Amino acid sequence: MKYRSTRGLPSDEPVSFEDAVLTGLAPDGGLYVPDVDDPTSHTASTLPYLSHAEILSLAPLPFHALAFRLLRPFIATSPTDGGIPDADLQDILARSFATFTHPDVTPVVPVASDDVQGLHILELFHGPTFAFKDVALQVVGNLFDYFLNRRNAAAAAAGRPLTRLTVLGATSGDTGGAAIYGLRGRESVRAFILHPRGRVSPVQELQMTSVLDANIHNVAVAGATFDDCQDIVKALFADPAFRAKHNLAAINSINWARILAQTVYYFKAYLLLHSRHAAGKDEAIKVRFAVPTGNFGDVLAGYYAKRMGLPIESLLVATNENDILHRFFETGSYTKPVAAAAAPAASSSSSDAVKMTLSPAMDILVSSNFERVLWHFLAAGASGSADASSSAQPASAAIKSYMTQLSTTSGFTVPASLHAKARATFASHRASDAATLATIAKYHAATGYVLDPHTAVGVAAAEAVPSAAGTQFTVVLGTASPGKFPEAVWAAVGGEAVVAYEAFAPEGLVRLKGLPTRATVVTVEGVERDERKRSGVDGVKWVIEQTI
């Protein structure tokens, strides 16, 4: 399978899986998607598709073997096509998930609820950094290593210089830690991870900055939001000379390999539930997934899983008070908040528009991965254009127009047909901080289960939005250990005297306290773009140039 940009031109050649992984962001600023036309029918999908019987046949497989079966059709087998032979891919996946502490890797845990039918938490926090990002980033780190080693072996044999990759990423908290743990100590990779100073939890910051490996570089951007950090990353990728000079690669969920790896736990959750409640039966069970959503990558993986044949009843997008996605599903308009829209062009920060909440990994103004699902809807003919259903190009032209409007006028509105298709696929809900705290307190008091604030947003959404008739199970994606957000937990339950940190935090987080840290600070706030030195885009360029 080859990959194309969501903004690509007809003359653009599709790229291999290897190139899509190692670059992450397309040269035109678009995101890579499978180079197939998107049909209107899931059952006629030109993406790899499994029947229900084929899905059930995967139930006995351990997580890494399940991942191999699901990922294999998306990755060519021949190295000359940028692919990975079977044995190598199996090894990559086995090593990636060997770092998880639970035998199911991503277990599904029932939680008693009077308000949600068949409530379960899909615990995605049993990896090295106790967040869902580990599932994908352990894979991505090993893929980087594999492809670079292969390229460098060929270069050494031919007497050419060896390649080193400069991985660049922005984080609202969890991506940074997971990326760092996935890349630390790798000789052919140096990583620069940007985070908004003061807008990640203290534990998240410690997880990143306490990693002192020589190839890991944390950049704290003062006065910034995640969106500012992400804009800096995109600007550096949009600089052809800088990108080529340093072999830039993206680690954020804009990297296709991350989305692909995350589809696996949707299948795993379904198979675990089916084996418990419908063993020996061929019929599908009815499951909806509620997904705490910031950059749209996690719920996008659920969309792809559904397209691949998984019988998902519905996908519920759960946002906090930074609710651009919820507002889109309600109105069809994808617009930045008024504060961001009114900001002058030279403004260096979106901090006035992004609200600081108890769920900081979701404090995002613009959800980058939303571009991918819009492209698929458009390629399926949702725009009403006569030729969109048979060609991807009108979809790419529309996406390019939408993204231009987003950057110049702070938003866009889609046709009614496209909005209707989005609402038929996704439901949505916005949860306030007050609702988040109330949800944590409620479930701790009733069951003893401690929710992290992001997962609590998902549970609050599941309570607020009724499931379809006949739905048997609601699975909320548990995106992080509550131990990463003790302040929110204690605010909800009544303080540390009610529940000690060690009671809900894994040992790996408890041990972080007191460790030495290292980070470089650049600024973004209050500095005009043409005056930046060690600030913004130029400041991060300076850090990378000086370090290398």
Answer for the pair 105, 272: CB distance below 8 angstroms, yes or no. Answer: no
Looking at residue 522, its amino acid is: V
| Size of the chain, expressed as the number of residues it contains | 548
| Alpha-carbon gap, residue 141 to 178, rounded angstroms | 10
Planar angle of CA 316, 322, 323, nearest 5 degrees = 45
> Which residues lie below 8 Å from residue 124, measured CB to CB, with a gap of 6+?
106, 131, 132, 134, 135, 265, 477, 478, 479, 480
**DSSP codes of every residue in 253-265:** TTSHHHHHHHHHH
Distance, in Å, from the CA atom of 86 to the CA atom of 73, rounded to the nearest integer, reads: 11
**Catalytic position from the list 133, 268, 286, 306:** 133
The secondary structure of residue 454, as a DSSP letter, is: H
Give yes or no: 133 in active site: yes
Sign of the CA dihedral with 243 first, then 299, 32, and 95 last: positive
- Cβ proximity of 263 and 70 under 8 Å: yes
* 203, 517 contact by CB (below 8 A): no
Quick one: CA torsion of 229, 233, 236, 237, rounded to 10 degrees?
-160
Closest CA to 229 of 531, 508, 523, 18: 523
- Tokens for 145, please give them: 């290593």
Under 8 Å between Cβ of 89 and 146: no
Q: Cα 311 to the chain's mean position, in Å? A: 22
DSSP-derived secondary structure for 316-385: EEEE-S--HHHHHHHHSEEE--HHHHTS-TT----TTTSPP-S-GGG--SS-TTHHHHHHHHHHTTTT--
Question: Which residues, listed in sequence order, are joined to residue 249 by a DSSP beta bridge?
Answer: 167
What is the token pair recorded at 544? 């990378």
- Give backbone dihedrals phi and psi of 222, rounded to 5 degrees, phi first: -75, 140
Token pair for 353: 């528009």
d(CA 181, CA 142): 11
Q: How far is 304 from 263, CA to CA, in rounded Å?
A: 7
Helix (H, G, I), strand (E, B) or coil at 209: helix
d(CA 199, CA 23): 28
Q: Do 261 and 71 form a contact (C-beta atoms < 8 A)?
A: yes
Q: Tell me the catalytic residues.
A: 133
